[in-house]
Structure 1
Amino acid sequence: MNRSYFHALPQLRDAVRRVADAHRLPVDVRARLVLSVADAAADELGSGRPVELSTAHEDGSHDDSPVLAIALSAPQARRPLRVGDLPLPALTNGTDSVVWRVPVPQTAGSSVPSPSAGIDPTAERSSRAESQAINEELRAIIARTDALTAEYRRLKHELAETNGGVLALYVQLEERDEQLRKAHGKMLRDLEDALRPQPMEIDGLELAVHYAPAEANAPTGGDLYDWFALPDGNLHITVVDALGHGVGSTRSALNVTHAVRTLALEGHPLQSILERTHEILMPLAPELMATVLLARLDPATGKLQLANGSHPPALMLRADGTAEYLEVRGRGIGFPLPGSEELLHTEIHPGDVLILYTDGLTESRRDPCEGELRLIAAARRHAGGALAELPSAIAAEMHTVMLHPDDTLALAIRRSTPTAAVG
């Protein structure tokens, strides 16, 4: 180990350069080492206290290059040497000593000089040699910086190209997903349209319907209806709201409408149909839950019967503008004690409008009573127009205030004067 004391920065820098040159360190490493040693010693030398520089040659492992250890110590230091943010990181013992360990490059056929070579505190290069050394170090650092800058630009360009490709792929995938969603939605809408009967042409009655899913690209739901003419000429209407969303709830609603249609065509009394539907379906689908409203209307007389299983009440809007909800107590399919407790009997006069709907129309806020009041107001505002447009117009107004999206179904029936038979 070679050890020397220094009282001025120029001699210290020159000594470090001589050691670096003797061990064939790269110029950019030499520059970092010179700056780091000078920065660590600056406070002590500036205060007139000497520093000690020592070097030692350490053997690496069988796979590693030898290591040059450069140690800087300050015997009279009043505080630890400054080692933060040095160009070449160093190790410190926390007191007055700092050590740099630098790998020494090997050259085939040559030996590494002794670490003692070059350290002489009385020897100093000429000003010209010092300038040449500094210029050499600056050029090496600049070259290294330029190389890193070029590499950074190349990597940035490659990253931009990669990001561009990923973004383009992402856009393509999004477009494909959107196309698939639209195709899927259209297929489901076509299926739903096939399941939802079109308004019937019945002398003395006008019928209209509006249905909107909770999500445009997933149009299946548990809101379903059915209407058909019975053998006696009466019109039967079923409105179902099965629990849940999607294909599962559609299947549940279809099971209910099919069971009700079968029982109605077999001649079962209207009041018994809900309870009988529950008995038929529960063994097949024990998880099924649905609210149901049944209506039976005589087009000739306007006589109306209603049975209800936990469903929102029908709204009757009279020709004179008065309105009332037709309340019937009962419990739905899958509920305890299912069935309608009674039948409600009333009459639709010419010009009256009967509105049947699911809760997606009125439960736009947390207060169902507010929704029912808004429904009456909306029905009055739009009742003077064509009946075919009435359900959609009411739904559009009701959904200007919406707590959460839900499947929405609205049916409207208006009684007109039957066409006189031609004799």
Structure 2
Amino acid sequence: MTDNNTSHHHTLPSLRHAVRGIARVYRLPVETRARLVMSAVELARTEIAAGRPVRLEVCAEPPSGGPAGQLVVTLDTLSDLTADREGIADLPLPAQFASGGSVTWRMPLPGQRGDGGDAGTVPPARNGGGPEAGGGCPTSEIHAVEQELRAALARLDTLTAEHRRLKHEIAETNRGTLALYVQLEERDEQLRKAHGQTLRELEDALRPAPIEADGLEMAVHYAPAGTDAPTGGDLYDWLQLPDGTVHITVVDALGHGVTSTRGALNVTHAVRTLALEGHPLESIIARTAEILMPFDSELMSTVLLARLNPATGDLFLANGSHPPALLLPAGGEPEYLEVRGRGIGYPLPGSERLLHTRMGPGDMLILYTDGLTESRKDPREGEKRLIESSRRHADRPIAEVPGAIAEDMHTVILHPDDTLALAVRVPPV
């Protein structure tokens, strides 16, 4: 059976009293009651101010297949409320709107009513009146408002506590995330260092220590373009041939990293094999290109070959597009030993001739890659500074000379590159 009750209201206090009475009879939660009162008053405010009454209808529908029914409250006005879309969206308690000025709220019934009376019984409200106009007890109305305020404050307190809890959880999560981020950064740094260390160990394995040859002192310095890529295309090789002469190879393969290292390593191995087989020094660069290019057409590398006889001081040089060697005579002017030629991967690779000179006691030979002289993007200026630095450190122990020269040359680096400096000296008498 459906309960129905209808009342008309000319004032907002009367409407408030009626809605609160309905909510109390049907035991609506205080928060729902407050929202219903505020929504009804909001929609009726314009109508009542214009002197038009509103009609309030309540209907308790019985359960339909469920444990409880629902309370249907309808407010009828003479205006089309659907025109105020913004006001509709902002209602404290959402409602269903119909054309013609009818708005309906549907709320589940919480259970058995507390007055034990007729389901349609609603506390009386005089048309045009209310609690303040004789339509009800002011104390009861004030008590109802206080209940709603307490419910609102309780809801606010709950939301505030929930907000604090969420902020605490977010802060804890952020701290955990930050800690995890720091751990990941530390782990990443450890992996980078381990990776770099492994590559440096591999590089060191590919870079032979200075050989021991009577009548010669030798040392080398190598530095990659960056610590994140400790391998590069600058390699060297030195060995003593069966006839007692010392063979030195300096290679600069195009690029950086492992790929250029592989290309440079292939060149040094090919050159070593050809040197040990006794091929003439002037033919080795061209022959190396013939061997490697069919297997690696992308390979490009400059090559400088030196052959030094410790017994006589005879020095022979072959060059394939590489920076010239620098000779510092003990009692003379420094000299760049220029030899024309083209490197591996260049058209017509090979050295155009052999350069022959002689080294005496105290003389020093500097072999290097362009990363040493072109760090400031000016090769000529770099060659001038190399002469000055080599003179400055010529009397130091040979093991210190290449590193000291590299430090001088790299006080300013505008163009980072792999750097190789190799020093060979005939001990003074």
1:131 deviation in Å?
2.1
1:326 aligned to 320, 331, 337, which one? 337
**Matching residue of 1:210:** 221
CA shift, 1:177, in A, is 3.5
Deviation at 1:138, TM superposition (A): 1.8
* Structure 1 residues 140 and 351: alpha-carbon distance in aligned structure 2, compared to 1, 3 A threshold: same
Contact preservation (8 Å) 1:40, 1:81? no
2:29 is the alignment partner of 1:26 = yes
Is the 1:311–1:358 Cα contact (8 Å) retained in structure 2?
Answer: yes
Where do residues 315-354 of structure 1 align in structure 2 (5 Å cutoff)? 315-319=326-330, 322-354=333-365
Q: CA deviation at 1:109?
A: 10
- In structure 2, the gaps of 5 or more residues are none
Alignment-derived partner of residue 13 in structure 2: 10
Q: What residue in structure 1 maps to residue 130 of structure 2? A: 123
Partner of 2:287: 276
CA distance in 2, matches of 1:184, 1:389: 28
TM-score normalized with structure 2 length: 0.78
2 CA distance for matches of 1:109 and 1:14? Answer: 18
Between 278-287 and 317-326, report the one with greater CA deviation.
317-326
Counterpart among 296, 300, 319 of residue 308 in structure 1: 319
**Residues 6 and 58 of structure 2 are in contact (CA less than 8 Å); yes or no, is this contact kept in structure 1?**
no
Task: String of CA shifts for 1:192-224, please: whole Å, max 9, x gaps.
Answer: 222211123334332111112234354322221
Give the 5 Å matches for 1:188-337.
188-216=199-227, 218-319=229-330, 322-337=333-348
SS at match of 1:83: helix
Cα distance change, pair 147–226 in 1 and its aligned pair in 2 (3 A): same
Q: Report the Cα distance in structure 2 between the residues aligned to 1:61 and 1:271, rounded to whole angstroms.
A: 106
Letter in 1 for 2:149: L
Return closer, same or farther for 1:22/1:382 CA change in 2, 3 Å cut-off.
farther
Please identify, of 60-69 and 227-236, the stretch whose mean Cα deviation from structure 2 is larger.
Answer: 60-69
**Residues 45-81 of structure 1: CA deviation (Å, up to 9, x unaligned):** 7x7665746567699998998585665868499x958
Alignment partner of 2:108 out of 104, 107, 113: 104
In the TM superposition, residue 8 of structure 1 has moved relative to its aligned partner by 4.7
Once the two structures are superposed, residues 275-325 of structure 1 have per-residue CA deviations (whole angstroms, 9 ceiling, x without a partner) of 111111223333332221111223344332222222233333454684443
Gaps of 5+ in 1: 419-423
Counterpart of 2:230, as a letter, is P
Q: CA deviation at 1:230?
A: 2.0
- Alignment-derived partner of residue 161 in structure 2: 150
Bigger Cα displacement from structure 2, 80-89 vs 137-146: 80-89
Query: What is the CA deviation profile of residues 213-251 of structure 1, one whole-angstrom value per residue up to 9, with x for unaligned ones?
Result: 234354322221101112232221111122333333322
Structure-2 separation of matches of 1:307 and 1:273: 9
1:286 partner letter: S
Cα distance 1:148–1:279, how it changes in 2: closer, same or farther (>3 A)? same
Q: RMSD across aligned C-alpha pairs, in angstroms?
A: 4.1
1:272 maps to a residue whose letter is S
Identify if the C-alpha distance between structure 1 residues 318 and 99 changes in structure 2 by more than 3 Å, giving closer, same or farther: farther
Q: C-alpha distance in 1, partners of 2:96/2:376?
A: 69
Compare 324-333 and 51-60 and name the one that shifted more.
51-60
Distance 1:39 1:361, change over 3 A: farther
The answer to whether residue 102 in structure 2 is matched with residue 83 in structure 1 is: no
* Matched length: 415
* Residue 176 (structure 1) aligns with: 187
8 A contact 1:7–1:48 mirrored in 2: no
Task: Name the CA distance, whole Å, in 1 between partners of 2:120 and 2:224.
Answer: 85
TM-score w.r.t. length of structure 1: 0.79
Match of 1:407 in 2: 418
Q: Deviation string for 1:76-109 (max 9, x for gaps)?
A: 99x958639947275799x997957554345379
Residues 322 and 343 of structure 2 are in contact (CA less than 8 Å); yes or no, is this contact kept in structure 1? yes
Identify which range, 262-271 or 314-323, moves more after superposition.
Answer: 314-323
Which is higher, the Rg of structure 1 or of structure 2?
A: 2
Matched, 1:359 2:370: yes
Instruction: Compare 254-263 and 4-13 and name the one that shifted more.
Output: 4-13
1:398 aligns with 2:402: no
Note closer, same or farther for the CA distance 1:104–1:293 as it changes in structure 2 (3 Å cut).
Answer: same
Quote how far apart the aligned CAs of 1:5 are. 6.7
Identity across the alignment (%) = 59
Q: Shift of residue 274 of structure 1?
A: 0.8
Aligned-residue offset at 1:370: 4.1
Mean CA deviation greater in 261-270 or 335-344: 335-344
The amino acid of 1:18's aligned partner reads G
Deviation per residue, 1:115-160 (Å, 9 max, x gap): 9956955333433223212221122122222222333333343444
